[in-house]
């Protein structure tokens, strides 16, 4: 999604990840940004995807969060509390 230019081509698209926790966010975004800035991806990708993947995530994505593990509670500020949508059911 982030390296395939979906968010870049559709800047009004909003994505909510649900039923999967949030422990993956920090390490996954770090790995995607590393690949984007490093040598793993073709450089011509930047003609379409002009920003690091984490920028698209923080601009267009949210997390449907209901139950948190202890590590997710500790990481909530690093992930971004404003991206975590509380369960209201």
User: Per the domain annotation, does 27 fall within a domain?
Assistant: yes
Residue 12 confidence (pLDDT) above 90: yes
Closest CA to 76 of 28, 31, 26: 26
Section 20-29 average pLDDT:
89
Strand (E) or helix (H) holding 50: none
User: Per the domain annotation, does 1 fall within a domain?
Assistant: no
Q: Which residues contact 8 (CB under 8 A, 6 or more apart)?
A: 48, 49, 50, 51, 56
DSSP summary character for residue 71: H
User: Per the domain annotation, does 43 fall within a domain?
Assistant: yes
Least confident of 10-24, 32-46, 67-81: 32-46
Closest CA to 46 of 13, 55, 24, 12: 55
Name the domain count of the chain: 1
Task: Give the global pTM.
Answer: 0.81
Q: Give CA separation, 57 vs 47, 63, 89, in Å.
A: 19, 10, 25
For 71, the domain range is 6-86
């Amino acid at each position: 999604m982030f390296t395939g230019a979906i968010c870049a081509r559709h800047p009004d698209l909003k994505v909510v990840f649900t039923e999967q926790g949030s422990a993956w966010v920090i390490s996954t975004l770090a790995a995607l940004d590393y690949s984007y800035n490093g040598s793993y991806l073709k450089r011509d990708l930047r003609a379409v995807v002009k920003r690091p993947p984490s920028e698209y995530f923080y601009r267009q994505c949210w997390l449907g969060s209901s139950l948190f593990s202890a590590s997710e509670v500790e990481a909530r500020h690093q992930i971004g509390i404003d991206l975590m949508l509380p369960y209201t059911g």
